[in-house]
Amino acid sequence: MRPNNTGKDQRALVLNYVSSANKPVSISDIKSATDFQVDNRTVQRWLNSAAKQRLVLITGERKARRYVGLPEKNKPTFKFLAGLPGSKQQELLSMLRTTWTHNSTALEGNTLNLGETQFILSEGLTVSGKPLKDHKEVMGHATAIDLLYDMIGSELTVGKIKQLHKAVQTDVIFDIDKPYGDFKVVPNGTYLLLDDLPDGKSSVYHAYSRPFDVPKLMVGLVEYIESCQPHSLDEAITMYAIAHLIFGQVHPFWDGNGRIARLIANLILLRAGYAPLVIPATRRLDYITILSKYSAKHKAPCVGEPLYQVGNELDAFVNFCKECYQGTINLIESIRK
């Protein structure tokens, strides 16, 4: 006769089995071992929630999906969750993951709204009528957040930044000029469209750092991030802005640079105990304009030169980032109520 376990008891049984298993397990494996009496979809929700808390790692897709318990050393500590009950901590982490993913991908043109993003991340299902590319971008960015969380308590390396590129670059393109998970091999740049460009020009081309210089410049960025030890939120946001600018000006990959810049710069905040800074998609024009003004004033860094330039343009971006962080503060306060 089957035991009449409550949902809470069955959830604990499932998670305990996954944590104790010495290999990746499937839903069928879990059901055979625990004899859970709820539907498979409920168990998947439990495991998705555990994955967001870094208790479980999910690999594969659909029928090939497997679940692995994570050891204690791989579970990051989030200081900004202090004082919140467990249920509130989980809620906040989930909302941050969804909000961060939605806004960062929307800044790059993703058409999924916040609700659709939340549905995809929580249910693992697609939204009718929306491009598959947009779904992949959302899942890729959420995976990159998990990778970033793993970097909080470990040393940042150039190799780990390349792992982030593999996560966000969900479409693997077999093109020698578009490396997957590696630095660019072809020069890149952008046209700046500003009202106050020099010599009355309507647009000007801004070249990012040369491919030859990228490896050494990225070592310099890693050294900068590793050296950051902010003593206040203002200092942490200033350092975030600098790291973001450096990455954006180097533009080390052929694609995905904006998303990775917003990810890697947040490592400074997370390590200092602060919640991540999310740049809202609603401020996309302000964001692009401020960065364009910096680019119009300063050339991209080269080896042997400073990684960034101080001045009014940097100050403007720092102030913009501080304004954006108010959204994170508001979200945390709403959870604490």
pLDDT digits (tens, 9 = 90+) for 278-335: 999 999 999 999 999 999 999 999 999 999 999 999 999 999 999 999 999 999 999 8
More confident site: 179 or 250 = 250
Task: Give percent of the chain with pLDDT exceeding 70.
Answer: 91
Q: Which of 18, 12, 17, 10 is nearest to 67 (CA)?
A: 18
pLDDT value for 224: 96
Section 154-165 average pLDDT: 91
Section 49-75 average pLDDT: 71
Q: What are phi and psi of 191, to 5 degrees?
A: -90, 125
Q: Which domains does the chain possess?
A: 7-74 (1.10.10.10), 79-336 (1.10.3290.10)
Question: How much is the pTM?
Answer: 0.78
Task: Point out the least confidently predicted range of 21-30, 62-71, 106-115, 195-204.
Answer: 195-204
Whole-number average pLDDT of the chain? 87
The whole-angstrom separation of Cα 191 and Cα 205 is: 4
pLDDT value for 22: 66
Task: Give percent of the chain with pLDDT exceeding 90.
Answer: 52
pLDDT value for 4: 43
The whole-angstrom separation of Cα 21 and Cα 23 is: 6
The type of residue at 55 is L
What are the pLDDT digits (tens) for 109-145? 999 999 999 888 877 778 888 888 999 999 999 989 9
Structure tokens at 53: 């808390």
Section 13-26 average pLDDT: 79
Q: What is the DSSP letter of 70?
A: P
pLDDT value for 2: 40
Section 70-79 average pLDDT: 66
pLDDT value for 114: 94
The whole-angstrom separation of Cα 237 and Cα 250 is: 20
> Who's near 112: CB < 8 A, 6+ residues apart?
102, 105, 106, 120, 127, 130, 134, 135, 138
Are 206 and 189 in contact by the 8 Å Cβ rule? The answer is: yes
pLDDT value for 71: 64
The whole-angstrom separation of Cα 86 and Cα 225 is: 30
What are the pLDDT digits (tens) for 138-152? 999 998 998 898 888
What are the pLDDT digits (tens) for 87-109? 788 889 889 999 999 999 999 99
pLDDT value for 172: 67
> Has residue 76 got a pLDDT over 70?
no
> Has residue 25 got a pLDDT over 90?
no
Section 33-51 average pLDDT: 81
What are residue 204's DSSP bridge partners?
A: 192
pLDDT tier for residue 153 given thresholds of 50, 70 and 90? confident
Structure tokens at 40: 């498979």
Task: Point out the least confidently predicted range of 69-78, 199-208, 217-226.
Answer: 69-78
Section 241-246 average pLDDT: 98
Are 34 and 20 in contact by the 8 Å Cβ rule? The answer is: no
238 sits in which H/E element: helix 233-250
pLDDT value for 1: 35
